[in-house]
Chain A
Amino acid sequence: MRNPSALAKEFRKYGKAASCPIIDMHGHFGPYQGIYFPADTAEAMMRIMDRAGVRMIVCSSHTALVDTRRGNPEMAEVVAKYPDRFRAYWALNPNYPDRMKEEIEAYPEQKGFVGFKFLSDYHKVAITDDRYGPALEFAQEHRMMILMHTWGNSPYDGPALIEEVAKRYPEVTILMGHSGYGEWDRAIGVARDYPKVYLELTAAYHANGVIEEMVQGAGSHKMLFGTDMPWFTPHYGIGCVLCAAITDEDRHNILHRNAETLLRLRGVNLEEDDG
C-alpha cells in the first residue's frame, strides 16, 4: 500500500488506531422497517465498534423515529447501561405537537442525551415549518446541538432550508446528517458560512471525491464522522476517509477531535470515561 498516511497503515494492520479513538456522531439502535440488521443490539454494536476503535457512538433509537414515547426511553436504557460507549439524541416528531411539547419539557431531566434528533424527510414536515418552532426556540435558548437528517434538494431538509434555520437560530449547533447528500456544494457552503453548522458524513463518504471537496470548502474542523450504525459498518466510512487525499490532521479532526469538542461542551468528559 503506497498511502503514506500513518493512520491508514495502522488501520490496515490492526483495524483501529490507538491515537484515533473514533467518535460516531450518527447512530441508531434496534430494528427498522426496510432493512435486515445482523447487529442491532447494544452488545453487537459494541463488538463492531471495538473492532474499528470506535470509542463512543451517539444514537437515536429507531423506535423513537416512529414513536418517541416508546423510543426515547429505550435509548435512555442503553445509555444508562453503557454510559462509557453510548450517548443519545432525544428524537422529536413535529406531527404530534402536544406530545412534542411534553417531550421538550421532559428533556432537561434526561441523563446521557446530548441534543435533539430531527428526521424531517421521514416525518414530512419541513425543518422551517412552524411546528418545529418550539423545539428550535428551546434549542436556541439552551445552545443545544441538533442532529438533523439532511438530503439534497429535499423540500423538508435540503441544505437551503438548513441555512434558513441556521440564520434564525444562530446559537443552535446543527449537525447536517448525511451532509445534504447529493447537494454537496450548497451543504459545504452552509457549513462554511455558519459557525455552528457541521457536515456529518454518514453515507456521504461513499461519494468519491466529496470528502476532499468538504475539506477544501468548509475545512476539516467542520466535519464529523458518522455511520448510521447498525446500518453501516464503521470500517467502510473509515476506509473512505483514510484513502481520501487529505492529511492525517484532517482525518483526526473528522474522526474524533471535532466530536470530542462538541461532546465536552455538553458535559461528556471523555478523559474521565477513559478511566
Chain B
Amino acid sequence: MEMFDCNVCLGLPCTPSVPPDAYIEKAEDLLDRMAFCGINQALVRHIAMEEESPVVGNQLLIREIASFDRLEPSWAILPPQTGELGTPDELVARMKTDGVRALWAFPSKHHYLLTGTTFGGLFEIMIRRRIPLFVSAKERSNGIEGFAMIEALLRDFPKLVLVATDHGCWGEDRLFRPLIERYEHFYIDTSRYELAGGIRDFCDRYGPHRMLFGTGFPEIPMGGAFLTLLHAEISDQAKAAVFGGNLQRLLREVRL
C-alpha cells in the first residue's frame, strides 16, 4: 500500500510551536523521518512559502527537493493583481516547468482576501486544469475563518478541487460534513481526525474517496494519523484510497 502524506512542511519556522528539534530543514532528513514511520511519499511545502514569501519559498522548495522523487512539490499563491508570481497563466507555465501540481493558500499571513474578486481568474484556470487548492482550516480571510471561509469559497467556486487540512481535533464533523455533502470536489485530510471511530463513520456515509491521508508534520508526529488510518475499521481497498489512491488520482487529473 502506498502511504502518500498530503500535509508535510519542510523548514524551520521563526517561532516554533513545538520543541525546535521536531522541525526538519533538509529533504534527506525528511525522507529519513518518513522511512522511520513507514510513509513512502509526501506532498511537501516549505515554511518559507508561508512565513517569508511564495516568491522565495516556492523556488526554495524546488531546489531543496529537486533530486528526491518521493517528495512532490506544492506552491503557494498570491493575488495576481500585485504580479509577484506573474499572471495566472505565467504561474501555471512555471508549475509545468517545475512539476508542481498542487497549490496552497495562506490568506491570514499573506494578508489577502481569498475570494473571487482577488482570485477569480486563477481559480477558473485551476478548475479548468483540475489543480487542487489546499487550505488549512485554521486560516482566516475576509472576516471569516475556518469552514465558514471555506464554504464561502466553495459557494463561489463549487467546481474547485479544494482540500481542507488541519481541521481541529475537538469535534468539527458538524462543520465539515455539510460541505462534503454539498460540494463534490471538497476533501478533508486526516492529520487531526483523531475522533474515535471517525474514519469508519465518515467512510460509511461518504465512501473513502473524500479523505486524504495527511499527518500535519512537523507540528504533529507522523505516527498518530498513520496508525489511526492503518487500523481504521474500513476495508483494505478503502484504506488504499485514503492512504494514497485519492491524492494520486487528484494529481494525475491535473492538466498543466
Contact = CB atoms under 8 A, between A and B. Distances in A.
B194 A206 contact: yes
A273 to B, nearest CB: 23
Interface stretch (A43-51, A64-72, A93-101, A144-152): A43-51
A231 B197 CA distance: 9
Contacts of B192: 206
A235 B228 contact: yes
B19 A210 contact: yes
Contacts of B226: 239, 243
Interface residues of A, number: 45
A210 B218 CA distance: 12
A229 B221 CA distance: 20
Interface stretch (A34-42, A77-85, A107-115, A192-200): A34-42
Most buried by A among B17, B21, B36, B227: B227
Contacts of A232: 169, 194-196
A261 interface: no
21 contacts: A2-B35, A3-B36, A11-B227, A12-B38, A12-B227, A15-B227, A15-B230, A35-B170, A36-B171, A38-B196, A45-B196, A205-B221, A205-B224, A206-B194, A208-B221, A231-B169, A231-B195, A236-B224, A239-B224, A242-B227, A244-B223
Interface of A: 1-3, 8, 11-12, 15, 34-39, 44-45, 48, 51-52, 203, 205-213, 227, 229-244
Interface of B: 17-19, 21-22, 32, 35-38, 169-171, 173-174, 192, 194-198, 200-201, 217-228, 230-233
Top 8 A-B pairs, shortest CB-CB distance: A35-B171, A243-B223, A239-B227, A1-B38, A209-B22, A39-B197, A209-B19, A239-B223
